[in-house]
Amino acid sequence: MEGFVVRPARPEDKEAVLAFCEHTWDEFGDYIADVWDEWLADVTGAFLVGELHGKPVAIGKVTALGPGEIWLEGLRVAPEVRKSGVANAYMAGQRQYLARLRPRVLRLATGVHNAAVHHIMDRSNFRRVATPLCFRGRADESIVAPAPQTLGPEEGPAVMALLERSEVFAAGHRLCAVGWRWPALTPARLAEHLRAGEVVGYRRADRSLAAVALTPDAHDFLAERGRLWVGLLDGAQDSVADLVRALRRKATATPDREVLAFVPKGSPWPEILEAAGYVNDKALNFAIFERVIRGRN
Ligand SMILES: CC(C)(COP(=O)(O)OP(=O)(O)OC[C@H]1O[C@@H](n2cnc3c(N)ncnc32)[C@H](O)[C@@H]1OP(=O)(O)O)[C@@H](O)C(=O)NCCC(=O)NCCS
């Protein structure tokens, strides 16, 4: 595209970028203003601006979640220049910055109905690997359910074994929602969540695990401390049903008095969550796309 270049974002781009991001989504505007400083300071990934004839008209963020595990987010094109090839040109320009990170896998989450991004992903050789649905549960102290236990680091192998056997974990492509990003849940990451006291569940009398929920603090992006965030849910159906009710009770201690749970489409959890009083927030149902880069590293 003539006159179009992709380059690292600069502090002086802020005003122009925030102006074209102001009304990205009807319901809640956009979050770019909240992450601007953090993204600009990120030296492990790349925060890129696409400029057309010297004027910023596009942005996107490349984030390294781990070595070679790259998360793409924040793609925006100014409304007045959409549908003229800017996103395509941006994606092409972004490639050189991506290559420097030696990616093994690229992933991105977008709205389940975001036709433009689904089309761009198809054309860029990404495939859809998971469909996390968002359920909101209001805090309720009158709920009677067994109190979940906080699992410790010593439970890592048992939690991982439960997940390895789980069709739900496979349906979610072994990813876990952590503050609007979906990193792969590796044993090392699970260990971190366990150490942080972010994994709760039920043990049976024989101490085997009946249900687990990963409730990350999501400290690194758009801090979600206001709500009880459930990035992963698994176990026996009756125990999961108890656990999600107990989590609504636990959420009485959060400022927003709410549980926000992401569960894979096609799993038994949507029905169980609805029976426990949760409501699907259709505006926050996502599609995760992935591209595996072969022959690198
Ligand atoms: C999604 C978005 C970045 C696309 O930017 P754009 O500059 O309009 O896209 P382009 O003109 O480069 O089009 C890219 C391709 O998508 C197609 N496309 C663009 N808008 C589309 C739409 N609304 N529906 C279906 N396809 C669409 C184009 O036809 C083009 O297809 P082609 O490659 O086969 O020719 C832009 O609409 C936007 O900023 N939307 C709001 C924020 C958003 O949704 N961001 C993504 C969050 S993950």
Question: Which residue do the tokens 């010593």 mark?
Answer: 154
Q: Give the full edge-to-edge strand order of the sheet including 149-150.
A: 149-150, 199-203, 209-214, 232-235
For ligand 1, pick from 27, 82, 110 the residue to mutate: most ligand atoms within 8 Å of CB.
Answer: 82
Question: Nearest Cα to 194, choosing from 209, 177, 178, 215?
Answer: 215
Residue 225, pLDDT score: 67
pLDDT, position 285: 97
Whether 125 lines ligand 1, by a CB cut-off of 6 Å, is no
CA of 49 to the centre of ligand 1 (A): 16
Residue 247 CA to ligand 1 center (angstroms) comes to 38
All structural domains of the chain: 4-103 (3.40.630.30), 133-284 (3.40.630.30)
In whole angstroms, how far apart are CA 110 and each of 35, 98, 128, 181, 198?
Answer: 18, 19, 10, 10, 26
pLDDT for 294: 83
**CB-CB contact of 297 with 68 (8 Å):** yes
- Taking the centre of ligand 1 as the mean of its atom positions, its distance from the CA of residue 61, in whole angstroms, is 16
Cβ-contact 97, 107 below 8 angstroms: no
Q: Is 127 in the pocket of ligand 1 (CB under 6 A)?
A: no
26 CB near ligand 1 (under 6 Å): no
What pLDDT is stored for residue 218 in this prediction?
Answer: 62
Nearest to 222 by CA among 21, 14, 30: 30
71 lines ligand 1 (CB under 6 A): no
Maximum CA extent, the chain: 68
pLDDT, position 224: 59
pTM check: above 0.85: yes
Question: Which of the two residues, 223 and 173, has the higher pLDDT score?
Answer: 173
List own/partner pairs for 149-153 with CB under 8 A and 24 or more apart: 149/200, 149/201, 149/202, 149/203, 150/197, 150/199, 150/200, 151/194, 151/199, 151/200, 151/201, 151/209, 151/212, 152/194, 153/191, 153/194, 153/195
Predicted pLDDT of residue 238: 97
Residues contacting 161, CB < 8 A, separation 6+: none
pLDDT at 179 over 90: no
Cβ atoms of 273 and 259 within 8 Å: the answer is no
Nearest atom, ligand 1, residue 83 CA: 11
The pLDDT of 235-252, averaged and rounded, is 97
> What is the share, in percent, of the chain residues with pLDDT greater than 70?
96
Q: Tell the residue number behind the tokens 């927030």, with chain if given.
A: 281
Distance CA 206, CA 81 (A): 62
Q: Is the pLDDT of residue 219 over 90?
A: no
Is residue 85 in contact with ligand 1, taking CB distance under 6 Å? Answer: yes
What confidence tens digit (pLDDT) does each residue in 75-128 have? 999 999 999 999 999 999 999 999 999 999 999 999 999 999 999 999 999 999
